[in-house]
Structure 1
Amino acid sequence: MKHGKKLLSVLLALVMVLALLPSAAFAAEGEKHITILGTSDMHGNIWGFSYEDSKETDNNGMARLYTYIQQVRAENPNTILIDAGDDIQGTIMTDDIYNKIPEEPHPVVAAMNYMGYDAMTLGNHEFNWGIDTMQKILSQAQFPVLAANVKDASGGFVTGAGWTIVEKDGVKVAVIGVVTPDVPIWDGGKEGVEACTYEAANTAVKNAIAEIGDGADVIVVSAHMGMYAEFDEDGGSDSAQKILDDNPEIDVLQVAHNHVVVSETQGDTVIGGVRNGGRDIARFDLTLDQNNHVTDATVEIVDMTGVTPSQALRDIELVKESHQKTIDFITGGGSGEDGEGGAALGSTTAKFQPVDEIAGLPEGKLQDTAVMDLINKVQLENSGADVSAAALFKDTSDLPEGDINYGNIFDIYKFDNTLYRVTVTGKELKGYMEWAAACYNQWVPGDINISFDPEYPGYLYDMFAGVDYEIDLSQPKGERIKNVMFKGAPLQDDQTLTLAVNNYRYSSALKAQNLIAGKKEWESSNSIRDMIVAYLAEHAPISPEVDNNWKIVGVDLSLDDPRRQEIIDLVNAGRLDTPYDKSYNLADYDAIIASAAPAGNVAVNGTVVGSAFAYQINDGAVYYRLRDLAFALKDTSAAFNVEWNGQMVVITKGAAYTAEPIQDSAMSPAVTETTLSVLADGQVEVAAALMSPGYHCVTAEGLAALLGLSVTEADGVLTITAA
């Protein structure tokens, strides 16, 4: 809240050089350092485990976050941990088990208590089961839960508090929490939700700051909303940017809700936001003078890919129990918790998603697929509607070939939505279809792929059944839907027909954005996910069927141009970024090729086999990330597996590494040259090692000691000689 003069920019280079040493060693007399760590949108992912796929992840989860949090606390005891909501919803564990027994201890809250949170802000998904359930679950928190802009029917804060003060090293930090006031749009029908009042976030923050007065040295706002308005574009009541515009004295602004990385500075305010599932953490570092005036502030978004999960967090009795309980629930067909029988819900004859031509660019959003046709077919049969609309909530959602369990169904339909039927006109339906097609970027001549608007979340892209249509991506948004046919004839604007759509889409799009005038005339008594389970049980085995009722037109992707395939090959080899939010264009061919990463820096017996992230400190030895090395070498005579047994790194020579590759090239600046204890045919001490949160790196000499092989470096390539 109080600002002194910012550090001169000419000092930045010096700061970066000294970043590896303890900050306290260079602190000016009386200078203080406060670190604020911000999480959000963890969506029940404690373990770092995909229950849909029945396998460990390598880039997310609260257990990974806790590993990093502990390291930061060791570096700076004056660390504050806050969360911006959407935590108790989003996995089979939360949605299908523990949120249905809110009076019982909740594993997410237990994990957050153990992690030592100082405050949490409500997210919109905390309201999914109604006010009573939310309050019962969050009453277990050993930290304040904040919502300065939501009051219950009695006029009190729905969570009991709107803001709190956290004191570190004599610095009083005010944390104000606000949630998007759009909650009733999505959950207005849930118990107690409409009885609450939802104030504009910018107004609530202004009032809170006035209440705090001179009681804080630093103002932090934890806002469960994106930077820009979701519905209230005129008033900005649901916009973090509006909060900042009206309250420029804010020091730190944490944003959430949209599952995108935000890292920027506006004036004296640092702003940060992270993705979902515990994939990142926002780190805000503040420097204050002896009068507690903020003199410098930085923000960094730290990716959790490759970070070792905290075994201590996983070993919490309730966390461990809930993890196994969820696995048993899935193997029990989603109908019990003991897994007895383990009967499959049904089976398929083949996978339901096409293979992506370009790695990371989902074909499931570029063409009609069996997954979407299945969901829409189920919705049509259960509603009796003429037309159905549904979205692929996750780009990679698929039904595998073979037996199907509850986790597979959760993968293709993760929300507990119910189904509505509503009457619409032809004009309204086409307007709704235009709204959905806004997810794409406009194609321009020379583009070799279709790309997506990064400001338009993929879960908003609905695909339709019951009509045939084309999406012309040569046209701007609002003018793309062409040749809509209903029952073999062009759909007229004044025709009426019935539409099947989930309750969330009806409230948050069709009604909130005035796309339709009609009201729901029917609502299902069970969830859409339950309908899919029932359909599978009745019709198994089911085969992937696609009617191809829609297609993208107006694009020429230069399919026969060899330059296109060259670019795609580089993307698929990991040497170029996936063109998800911006297409590669042949006009930029030379620059694109020049920007490609080298073919590889890891070789076996003289043959390049892959790449490993290399990190060099102060022109010294080069350190190579162990997981990258294991992935690069997995199909060679030098193959080894690397894993963490809870106490040390374990190397298994001759075993292939089976985990996914690490996608990012980032390393935390908080790295330390050290001795690494590794279990490899007995315990080996590797002196040439580098450790960062979850990243274990070794030099050529260190790798040679681990594998017992000759390892050399020349011209930037690490070469292993193996039999």
Structure 2
Amino acid sequence: MKNRVKKLCALLLAFSMVFGIGLVPPSNAEMVESPETVNITILGTSDVHAFIYPWEYKLGEEDSDAGLAKVYSVVKEVMDENPDAILIDNGDTIQGTELTDVYKNDDTTVFPIIDVMNYMEYDSWTLGNHEFNYGLDVLERIMADAEFPVIAANVYNDDGSNYVLPYIVKEINGIKIGILGMVTPNIPRWDGDKVENLEFVSLIDDAKKWVKVLREDEKVDIVIASLHAGVEPEYWEDGGDGARAVAEQVPEIDAILAGHAHEDIEGELINGVLIAEPKRYGNRVKRFDFIMEKNGDYWDLKEKTSYNYDTNSYEAAPEILDLAEEYHQATLDYVNTPIGEATGDFVPVGEIMGIPTAQIQDTALVDFINKVQMKYTGADVSLAALFISESNLLEGPLTIKDAAYIYKYDNTLYETEVTGAELKSMMEWSANYFNTYKPGDVTISFNPDIRGYNYDMFSGVEYDID
């Protein structure tokens, strides 16, 4: 009877280990099986986009699952359980809210999001693509404020040296953990002239290069790739700008903290590599756990699990609210600055629930954006996308937060010459956002593989989408 009970317990333990990815946040007591077994916990954030307070400045209202104040409540809870837990950030950290507009050029104070991350004692920060939006001078000034390492292995200076550190190594209870940072290599597409002295190389190629260094030279027991890229590729035919291809070709990585795509991925095994992503704005905090078992002079990885904490169920940490109160108030004052008045709503009331009106008919809002672009370039035709599909300018006084709501990114405006054929090709490409009508369809639908911010609408030319 005793043997049957032992076998049943072993089966139940195996079942819980295999299916433990993302079900419940594991406690340290559950993980430790013997004195020769150690649980290594890694916490990760990604795409925080300068959210500190749980507040949406563009709308002037609370955002109950956003901000590092919420994140820190999760971090404290986990650190109480496992004081040796490692905390890393996966990029797109300094750009996003209007707080950045207030402080990005202020060299008299520590940049607010970095000030908070210093207090939270982050162990590393991987650069994201939006870190480069303001140019290298601004980025380097902000990086200098950080009391933790900044990493991005696949970014090189024009002399071939690394722009920042490629990785860090942490040691906990004799176990060495290598954290490799990488960022999407598509940055020159978006910020070309701002990064002209830098080279961004394939995630696949550099993962192979630096994982070999970590395994063979640094002798690490665990490799984590903090990879600021989505699971799926964006532009590279070989997948060299996505996490999936990295996992498929570099199985020596134990886990990938993905980002960039703002997806909520609790845990997915690809070629034995555990990939997860913690959404955006501090909505989620990623937790990886690695069960390490002593085997002579070495440590073996016996099991790995992942879990996403939903910050909506946590109170904002008062320490962070107090620390960032001055930054928050300065941003509120800025976004509430009056800039004009609207004589009417720029987008009419929607006719079909769930379908953005401004994307299916001509509206004053898109016309307004395009007319501004045409005014400052002298172009005959302008194209623009809505980054927030439900954005609008409502009748009445307008403030900076209203302008930020309809155009949330500090993009660079370009003028270029195109032929009529090239213009038509661009318009056809943009129209791929819509699904082609099929018999039985009752309304318009959209291509799920194309993000709304890639659907451009044109002014200066009359056209129909059929």
Give TM-score scaled by structure 1 length. Answer: 0.58
- What residue in structure 2 maps to residue 127 of structure 1? 132
| Distance in 2, Cα, partners of 1:373 & 1:26 | 58
Q: Which amino acid letter does the alignment assign opposite residue 314 of structure 1?
A: L
Count of aligned pairs between the two proteins: 448
- List per-residue Cα deviations over 1:385-422 (Å, max 9, x = no partner): 22110010112322122110111111111222343222
1:103/1:137 contact within 8 Å kept = no
1:441/1:452 contact within 8 Å kept = yes
Q: Which amino acid letter does the alignment assign opposite residue 68 of structure 1?
A: V
- What residue in structure 1 maps to residue 288 of structure 2? 284
- What residue in structure 2 maps to residue 152 of structure 1? 157
2:31/2:39 contact within 8 Å kept = no
- What residue in structure 1 maps to residue 447 of structure 2? 453
Change (3 A) 1:45 1:26: closer
Q: Which amino acid letter does the alignment assign opposite residue 426 of structure 2?
A: Y
- List per-residue Cα deviations over 1:7-64 (Å, max 9, x = no partner): 9753459979x96884415632122222222211111111121111222211211111
Question: Are 2:464 and 1:470 aligned?
Answer: yes
Change (3 A) 1:167 1:60: same
- Of 101, 119, 139, which residue of structure 1 is paired with 2:144? 139
2:31/2:291 contact within 8 Å kept = no
- Of 251, 258, 272, which residue of structure 2 is paired with 1:268? 272
- What residue in structure 2 maps to residue 79 of structure 1? 85
| Distance in 1, Cα, partners of 2:30 & 2:416 | 66
- What residue in structure 2 maps to residue 196 of structure 1? 198
2:87/2:122 contact within 8 Å kept = yes
Aligned CA-pair RMSD: 2.5
Change (3 A) 1:437 1:131: same
Q: Structure 1 residue 330: deviation in Å?
A: 2.5
| Distance in 2, Cα, partners of 1:105 & 1:21 | 36
| Distance in 2, Cα, partners of 1:269 & 1:13 | 14
- List per-residue Cα deviations over 1:661-714 (Å, max 9, x = no partner): xxxxxxxxxxxxxxxxxxxxxxxxxxxxxxxxxxxxxxxxxxxxxxxxxxxxxx
Q: Which amino acid letter does the alignment assign opposite residue 252 of structure 1?
A: A
Q: Which amino acid letter does the alignment assign opposite residue 304 of structure 1?
A: T
Question: Are 2:43 and 1:40 aligned?
Answer: no
- List per-residue Cα deviations over 1:625-647 (Å, max 9, x = no partner): xxxxxxxxxxxxxxxxxxxxxxx
Q: Structure 1 residue 359: deviation in Å?
A: 5.4
Q: Structure 1 residue 209: deviation in Å?
A: 1.5
- What residue in structure 2 maps to residue 246 of structure 1? 249
Local SS of the residue matching 2:182: strand
2:25/2:307 contact within 8 Å kept = no
Q: Structure 1 residue 289: deviation in Å?
A: 1.9
1:7/1:296 contact within 8 Å kept = no
Q: Structure 1 residue 443: deviation in Å?
A: 4.1
1:258/1:457 contact within 8 Å kept = no
Local SS of the residue matching 2:372: helix
Change (3 A) 1:434 1:9: farther
| Distance in 2, Cα, partners of 1:314 & 1:430 | 51
- What residue in structure 2 maps to residue 212 of structure 1? 214
| Distance in 1, Cα, partners of 2:25 & 2:251 | 32
Local SS of the residue matching 2:302: strand
Question: Are 2:358 and 1:364 aligned?
Answer: yes
| Distance in 2, Cα, partners of 1:124 & 1:21 | 32
1:102/1:133 contact within 8 Å kept = no
The residue correspondences of 1:235-634 to structure 2 (distance < 5 A) are 235-262=238-265, 263-291=267-295, 292-316=299-323, 319-331=324-336, 333=337, 344-356=338-350, 360-472=354-466
| Distance in 2, Cα, partners of 1:202 & 1:15 | 29
| Distance in 2, Cα, partners of 1:152 & 1:128 | 17
| Distance in 2, Cα, partners of 1:21 & 1:201 | 31
| Distance in 2, Cα, partners of 1:448 & 1:459 | 25
Change (3 A) 1:352 1:169: farther
- What residue in structure 2 maps to residue 229 of structure 1? 233
1:7/1:295 contact within 8 Å kept = no
Change (3 A) 1:278 1:381: same
Gaps of 5+ in 2: 1-10
Q: Which amino acid letter does the alignment assign opposite residue 387 of structure 2?
A: F
Local SS of the residue matching 1:136: helix
- What residue in structure 2 maps to residue 115 of structure 1? 120
Q: Structure 1 residue 102: deviation in Å?
A: 4.3
- List per-residue Cα deviations over 1:274-301 (Å, max 9, x = no partner): 3322222222222222343222222233
Q: Which has the larger radius of gyration?
A: 1
Gaps of 5+ in 1: 1-5, 334-343, 473-723
| Distance in 2, Cα, partners of 1:59 & 1:354 | 30
| Distance in 2, Cα, partners of 1:256 & 1:175 | 15
Q: Structure 1 residue 354: deviation in Å?
A: 3.5
- Of 92, 97, 105, which residue of structure 2 is paired with 1:91? 97
2:341/2:396 contact within 8 Å kept = yes
Change (3 A) 1:276 1:450: farther
Q: Identify, as 1 or 2, the structure richer in helix.
A: 2
Local SS of the residue matching 1:422: coil
Local SS of the residue matching 1:290: strand
% same residue: 40
- What residue in structure 2 maps to residue 59 of structure 1? 65
Local SS of the residue matching 1:133: helix
| Distance in 1, Cα, partners of 2:355 & 2:278 | 21
| Distance in 1, Cα, partners of 2:390 & 2:221 | 46
| Distance in 1, Cα, partners of 2:403 & 2:368 | 11
Local SS of the residue matching 1:453: coil
- What residue in structure 2 maps to residue 572 of structure 1? none
Q: Which amino acid letter does the alignment assign opposite residue 143 of structure 2?
A: L
Q: Structure 1 residue 236: deviation in Å?
A: 3.2
Give TM-score scaled by structure 2 length. Answer: 0.89
- What residue in structure 1 maps to residue 6 of structure 2? none
| Distance in 2, Cα, partners of 1:325 & 1:189 | 31
Change (3 A) 1:455 1:37: farther
